[in-house]
Amino acid sequence: MRDHVTDSPSWVLLIRVFIGLGWLRAVVAKAADPDWWDGTNIFSFAATYGLKSLTWYEPVLDNVITPNVRIIAAVVLLGEIIVALTLLTGHRMALGLSIGIFLNLNFIAGGAVNPSIFYLVAQGCIALWMAERSENKKDQPMVLAAIAGSALFVGAVSIPDVVSLDPSWVIDDPGVITVFGAVLTALACGATGLRLSAGKAQPRRGVADLFAPDDDGPGNGVINLTNRNGRERLTFELPDARTDERDSISSRR
């Protein structure tokens, strides 16, 4: 996957700058807040969203995050700095997107759906776009298949956490969001993988596939080839066979 994407199309540039600024804002807010460094904010997060967290994520909250709030605070801040810098500069995008998606998945699993789901979808779109333009297309379908399988597994184990399908509640239900997001991820990765596989299977096209000889060519050793879409024309002048024959006879003498 190519990490340097400063030549990205306008929609990718818009998304990565917008999301990058969002991560940068989060970095500034956390770094300037003393309650972040001593773990108070993480305790408050667990107390606020703990009841909404996914069942399989509760051991992570209880045994990993809560006992190590100071370390987690520093790690999260460092991760957000990396994500912001990679998105804004367009360098090491694969690393930044991986960290950003990982952080957002943890926020959602911990019960905080908004705005993590928006960031997750935006970063996922950029990641799929990068996969399609990857120079290593041979391995990308397998990687995408592994991601799709992992997403479906996470979605399956999150089904018991679905509280309601009421439209007014689903946006704040981490269970519904996780299951729905897992299905969309699997479909998107599958479609991208199929396109990459189809492109890999296509043979290379030569001049004969792109150009066809004109029926009204001038003759006399001159061939006109017109692009099959009619927009481009090539002219070739072949060597005179009689001249080649005379040169060959002279060389033998």
Read off the pLDDT of residues 73-99 as tens digits, 9 standing for 90 and up: 999 999 999 999 999 999 899 999 999
Q: Is the pLDDT of residue 211 over 50?
A: no
Q: Where are the alpha helices (DSSP H) in 110-173?
A: 116-132, 140-158, 167-170
Stretch 195-207: mean pLDDT, rounded? 61
| DSSP letter assigned to residue 202 | S
Which pTM does this prediction carry?
0.73
Cα–Cα separations (whole angstroms), residue 22 to 91, 93, 147? 17, 16, 25
Rounded to whole angstroms, the Cα distance separating 10 from 41 reads 37
Query: Confidence band (pLDDT; 50, 70, 90) for 249?
Result: very low
Determine how many CB atoms are found less than 10 A away from the CB of residue 152: 16
* pLDDT computed for residue 180 by the predictor: 93
Closest CA to 111 of 162, 45, 160: 45
Report residue 219 as tokens: 């003759």
Kindly report, residue by residue over 119-176, the tens digit of the pLDDT. Answer: 999 999 999 998 888 776 677 888 899 999 999 999 999 999 998 888 878 888 999 9
Q: Is the pLDDT of residue 240 over 70?
A: no
* pLDDT computed for residue 232 by the predictor: 55
Report residue 6 as tokens: 């400063």
Kindly report, residue by residue over 58-80, the tens digit of the pLDDT. Answer: 999 999 999 999 999 999 999 99
